[in-house]
Structure 1
């Protein structure tokens, strides 16, 4: 990366920073509803090499688009960083939000972005890029931000610059986790508890199944589901759906539109599933979480209605092939599923899933294993 940066910009970078993608083990669309979620960072990372400039100019490029580095070079200034589109929103949006929220001037820079985090799959490629830039500028601009503040700033980039009405799950996962752990996020209490996964010791593995069906959280179903959750909360007279006890879910069925009630039921029960999975993991019983993950997928498919046929096929095949549990991960409407499998069976299940999904008439999915990795950091 240093060599590419020097070839492009004519000098070495000041450093290289990175942030991981993430898999959400359980707890989907619970973040903006005050619930629980249990994500972990994965060993696919976005890296950004950065060198400060003595002026206000910004020059950035990436190798993850189908263009050579030079022709893909994007230029801006500190003052125009909030007026951008395309992938550069995730970089320049950080600049814009930092300057506005912290009341700082900042300085220009040059940056080269590379990534092994799949894009639009549901493993937080956008949060990985935002977090990598955040930790880089935090050091270069001597901001000394707490990680919790970085989470808030990253969400502002998504909400205000990108236009995606997301909560803080993704930013928390890529900024607060650590190797071999998930993090139990309580969005009502605003707490983050590291929970040991124990997958290696139990000879278990997580497979990510990329359906190749792409999504965009800035448009479409994600925003609609959020509005339906808000409608459910208004009808129920609560600040957030977290306030509804799981035993009270059925009682609301006759008091709101059926579709809105299904959204409520998913959020409340998925929060309970996240609590149960974390409890099993703390007790060293990771094998027992499989059925809970599968229940979570049924809830997304039937109640939240944000799955797609290719992912449903992947989940069904993974379980039929011997997986302990599987579910869609991420915001939905495309993206990926995850399957908890025995390490000894991982390669066989990966092939069987890809074959079966393709034979069902969908694109052949890309299936790869992931391990729980470190959060955003300086690499060099």
Structure 2
């Protein structure tokens, strides 16, 4: 659904035109998985798939929310009072936009209510940050309408707080920052400790390559326990090593750090993944800046092995995508996102895309899995006002 349809939907719902329409994209992470809540490095880029919001201000302390993507009785307008918003009290999709309003108000920003109509083309549960897109589009709209003067990185921080505290999902800062700050034709090299950013040109089509996203259609939910267990395990590893975050363990000192952990197998695995993954992000940045784009393929493969074997968040469907794609000529492949389902990415020569796609689809069919969704990932613009 495009901006015009969302605007028209707002008029039909609320009886007047919205004050504006905004969009915010989902993202795919090229490299740097689970490093964001360890103060490490990540490298996402924005997808052309977006959440779109038509929004108007209210002054009566009421928040009205509607999604064009929710059908049936559950798809009506949800009316909430701002004074009643409370963390983890809402377990529906409305928790994401309502959480943003709560976070803004808790931070002292004068948001007095809003009418919101939303629609999104970001696949839900695919590890492509559909929730962050919803949060960021609402935050940007309210920032503009209420003239809050917040910078993009500040909006990302508030959206992360909404997801961590209000929704109850212990996610890092990458998803919201990617949605808010990415630029078309670039990947975002982000230091999640200080939110310093560098836009790295990433135009695969110009070099005869493509990056595919393969949505396994295996659903995950970050607020479920396994993601939180990994985060807690990383924090425990940092404490055992006497550092503020695993970002502070130099790659050159990894072996010594692992020796200090002794026979604590879980801590060894988690620490090894985070430290080597930070190194992989820096390696990919260096390769892209040197014009050696094809050489990032083996780095992606190594990242998947680490997520599968050390962090243990892959699944048979994700492994099947990676193994099949590589056997069919892909330059590189790995799972992406929080894990336990969701999507994988495949770096391939443009001429090999059809062969790889067919092989993956046939492998899923022969394994009895539901057909995957395959599409090209094109680095796209971050959040913006459309009208």
TM-score bracket, normalised by the shorter chain, equals: over 0.9
Mapped to 2, the partners of 1:176 and 1:5 lie a distance apart of 27
Q: Residue 6 of structure 1: CA displacement?
A: 1.2
| Cα pair 1:203 1:342 within 8 Å, conserved | yes
- Aligned match of 1:167: 172
Question: Which string of whole-angstrom CA distances, capped at 9 and with x for unpartnered residues, describes residues 262-302 of structure 1?
Answer: 11000000100000101111112211111110110000000
Equivalences for residues 3-42 of structure 1 within 5 A: 3-42=8-47
| Cα pair 1:358 1:365 within 8 Å, conserved | no
- Aligned match of 1:94: 100
Question: Which string of whole-angstrom CA distances, capped at 9 and with x for unpartnered residues, describes residues 62-84 of structure 1?
Answer: 12223378x42211122123343
- TM-score norm. by structure 2 comes to 0.94
Correspondence for 2:183 among 178, 184, 194? 178
| Cα pair 1:51 1:111 within 8 Å, conserved | yes
| SS at structure 2 position matched to 1:212 | coil
| Cα pair 2:249 2:257 within 8 Å, conserved | no
Correspondence for 1:85 among 81, 88, 91? 91
Correspondence for 2:248 among 243, 262, 265? 243
Correspondence for 1:340 among 347, 351, 356? 347
Gaps of 5+ in 2: 1-5
| SS at structure 2 position matched to 1:87 | coil
Mapped to 2, the partners of 1:96 and 1:205 lie a distance apart of 40
- Aligned match of 1:44: 49
Question: Which string of whole-angstrom CA distances, capped at 9 and with x for unpartnered residues, describes residues 213-269 of structure 1?
Answer: 111111221100111111111111111111212232233344331121011000000
Q: Residue 189 of structure 1: CA displacement?
A: 4.2
Mapped to 2, the partners of 1:44 and 1:294 lie a distance apart of 25
Correspondence for 1:61 among 63, 66, 73? 66
- Aligned match of 1:369: 376
| Cα pair 2:153 2:195 within 8 Å, conserved | no
Q: How many residues align?
A: 378
Mapped to 1, the partners of 2:57 and 2:250 lie a distance apart of 51
Q: Residue 313 of structure 1: CA displacement?
A: 0.3
Q: What's the Cα RMSD here?
A: 1.5
Q: Residue 343 of structure 1: CA displacement?
A: 2.1
Q: Residue 106 of structure 1: CA displacement?
A: 1.7
- Aligned match of 2:123: 118
- Aligned match of 2:280: 273
Correspondence for 2:289 among 282, 285, 289? 282
Equivalences for residues 112-261 of structure 1 within 5 A: 112-256=117-261, 257-261=264-268
| SS at structure 2 position matched to 1:25 | strand
| Cα pair 2:258 2:272 within 8 Å, conserved | no
| Cα pair 2:218 2:342 within 8 Å, conserved | yes
- Aligned match of 2:307: 300
